[in-house]
Structure 1
């Protein structure tokens, strides 16, 4: 089929590449000319496992352009995969979605299906369909479908090609027929429902996982107080099939492009309907506090960080991605700098994005940050070490080197990267989450 995709971020580009892998002809459009030029050269603008390889493999079925009229003109199916960033009040900013909808209305010349992949509040598909139908320039039929994504950064390709399910929200049989044709070669369960339910599935799923993370972090905090081990607790919980063992790893909170934004959006949506989802509100509050866990632990060793050298291991919000959105590093490093710390930072792929995020900030003391491409140099002569991301490079690090290289071997592990047995005989002051 002839498929167009609006947006070449995580959602848009992965959607495009995976559909090309399944044999469709896909044209991608984006407003960022530099990004489009990179894509034309076969270079992925985002770090994602297997993405660039699949781009290059399917290059004959993938086209990239900044000309949205060209992209939409003859498309049978148009996927909208643009961002829906969080507004200051916690609601989703739908400006990009609506702009694309207007462009589609003025460009399409044949009957087509418009598919909203972006995470949008319940009822948005209805509004987009009306907007397009009110502004379409030709006498053609346009149907809007809700088709939320459930990919995780770092495993986005796998999550798309071998998804747990494909959810399709439709309001007519013709749209269902076309969408089944799009996904006919995906060996994945297809769930067809009304559009509003499909929109809600996305929020309900992401927010439940965020709840689970915040819950186990609360349990971890209590474990520290009473002398229990959260890993043993999670193990015992995970054997219950009603609970499952996923998302029971305690740490310093969730981040990324989905959980923080989607919990706040659902909380806002409920408030707009004179309702409060107390569990979601609690998850948001717990997560914000959890990000500061290591700073609080550090106060046991130092009253302040003035003149101290602090090693930071991990900048991204999770391993396998260069994404820093809502990463604990973005909260903690400014606090450390404000308190006078000297920062030495390591991350396998996130340094450039971190520098870019800091460049446009008004944070004082950025000249006191140095970046390193290995852990040895990062921890050398440090007074304390914070671990924010569980990269394999960190998990596989020889812990004896902390004692050998650091000025004071104090390691605060926000992701429980190391087994306690590793630390028993090491000459290190080690503190993790939910384990004594």
Structure 2
């Protein structure tokens, strides 16, 4: 099939590349001419495992192309996917101006039947608004349908999530549109859940909020583990073995961050209040997440006596491993707060260094060439992102390069007993007194 993706950011580019890999002919549209020219030249603006190879392969096979012209996109695709940003407003609600703009542009160029798909994460009832905008601006008599098709991508494994999804959600009320959508997804051999548009839109926010709830739950539990001497990792294994609960997202740490969870939870809270049904549970999820970094910094401050003039090595800057995304990264916020208190920060990340260089905080810290380089003469080492290479670090070399053998593990990545054997003092999240046991 001929498909167009309007918006070639993280979701749009990955979706377009995977649709092309499945055999469809895809045209990705973006208003950023520089980005489009870079993509045409084979330069991928984000790091995502497997994505660069997929883009280059399908561009070469002429199944994937790029343009700045919405008109060209509307003319090309039988189905038009809208994958533009939906950033938060100051009150937590969603800015739908990009969606509105694209809906108007699509309407102006419609000349025959098209299916318009909301792929962006949007509040419930956005599909109704998109349909209304298109009807108002399209020429009389032109037929179209609006469908909701939320994405469930995890940065760092997005290609796998798209190529082998655990479910596909399609929200719509037109048999004609639903038939085309099911045809698109036939090659993916995944369960398809067909709903009304409002339910499909709500599923996305509900899913992300539930995952964030699990993270805040285990972090709140970690506080109890610390004061009681229990080990949160063992507790998580015990409760996660229950199939009704599951082990996923029960990893205590510095809290959730990134471009999705904070935004989507704030949006869902705003949506619930607009519906007259405030979601108080999600407000507590936010509060727990906000205090997690505060508690962690309190521990470092207590151990060092003062932050001023102390050399702090930070391993990890991306909001999670296997991505270079530093948007709303807890690791970056940690660095910013350390610097604000007078610490001398040296930081390293396997993939996010170039993205960090674009941030204001980059001028106030040392960006190291390697993990060991970052730890040179450090008074404390802080693990902020759980990159696998940090778990296999040479502890003997690390001990010899640091000024003081103190580790604060914000992701519970290291083995406390192994670290102790090399002479380190270790502080994790909710690990109780595990490092003192023998």
Give the 5 Å matches for 1:8-407.
Answer: 8-59=8-59, 60-137=62-139, 139-358=141-360, 367-407=363-403
1:434 aligned onto 2:430: yes
Deviation of 1:139 (Å): 3.0
Q: For the Cα contact (< 8 Å) 1:121–1:265, is it kept in 2?
A: yes
1 CA distance for matches of 2:282 and 2:391?
Answer: 31
Residues 140 and 36 of structure 1: CA distance in aligned 2, closer, same or farther (over 3 Å): same
2 CA distance for matches of 1:278 and 1:297?
Answer: 29
Q: For the Cα contact (< 8 Å) 1:313–1:389, is it kept in 2?
A: yes
Q: For the Cα contact (< 8 Å) 1:210–1:254, is it kept in 2?
A: yes
1 CA distance for matches of 2:395 and 2:294?
Answer: 24
1 CA distance for matches of 2:151 and 2:337?
Answer: 35
Give RMSD over aligned pairs: 1.2
**Which of residues 400, 405, 411 is equivalent to 2:407?**
411
Deviation of 1:119 (Å): 0.4
SS in 1 for 2:81: strand
2 CA distance for matches of 1:423 and 1:411?
Answer: 9
Q: For the Cα contact (< 8 Å) 2:83–2:120, is it kept in 1?
A: yes
SS in 2 for 1:143: strand
Q: For the Cα contact (< 8 Å) 1:73–1:110, is it kept in 2?
A: no
Deviation of 1:94 (Å): 0.8
TM-score (norm 1): 0.96
SS in 2 for 1:345: strand
2 CA distance for matches of 1:254 and 1:159?
Answer: 20
1 CA distance for matches of 2:341 and 2:427?
Answer: 21
Poorly superposed stretches of 4+, deviation over 3 Å: none
Aligned to 2:436: none
Deviation of 1:399 (Å): 2.1
SS in 1 for 2:27: strand
Residues 336 and 181 of structure 1: CA distance in aligned 2, closer, same or farther (over 3 Å): same
SS in 2 for 1:300: helix
Deviation of 1:138 (Å): 5.7
* Cα distance per residue 1:284-306 (max 9 Å; x no partner): 11111112333111122123211
* Cα distance per residue 1:223-254 (max 9 Å; x no partner): 00110000110111011111011111111101
2 CA distance for matches of 1:424 and 1:383?
Answer: 16
Residues 328 and 74 of structure 1: CA distance in aligned 2, closer, same or farther (over 3 Å): closer
Q: For the Cα contact (< 8 Å) 2:301–2:307, is it kept in 1?
A: no
SS in 2 for 1:356: coil
Deviation of 1:37 (Å): 1.0
2 CA distance for matches of 1:340 and 1:368?
Answer: 10
Q: For the Cα contact (< 8 Å) 1:114–1:143, is it kept in 2?
A: yes
TM-score (norm 2): 0.96
Q: For the Cα contact (< 8 Å) 1:83–1:118, is it kept in 2?
A: yes
Count residues with an aligned counterpart.
430
Q: For the Cα contact (< 8 Å) 2:172–2:195, is it kept in 1?
A: yes
Unaligned runs of 5+ in 2: 434-438
Deviation of 1:341 (Å): 1.4
1 CA distance for matches of 2:369 and 2:110?
Answer: 49
1 CA distance for matches of 2:69 and 2:271?
Answer: 34
Q: For the Cα contact (< 8 Å) 1:310–1:383, is it kept in 2?
A: yes
Q: Which moved more, 1:163-172 or 1:177-186?
A: 177-186
SS in 2 for 1:167: strand
Residues 293 and 316 of structure 1: CA distance in aligned 2, closer, same or farther (over 3 Å): farther
SS in 2 for 1:243: coil
Q: Which moved more, 1:333-342 or 1:146-155?
A: 333-342
* Cα distance per residue 1:18-71 (max 9 Å; x no partner): 110111111111111111111101221110010010111111111101111111
SS in 1 for 2:250: coil
1 CA distance for matches of 2:187 and 2:157?
Answer: 20
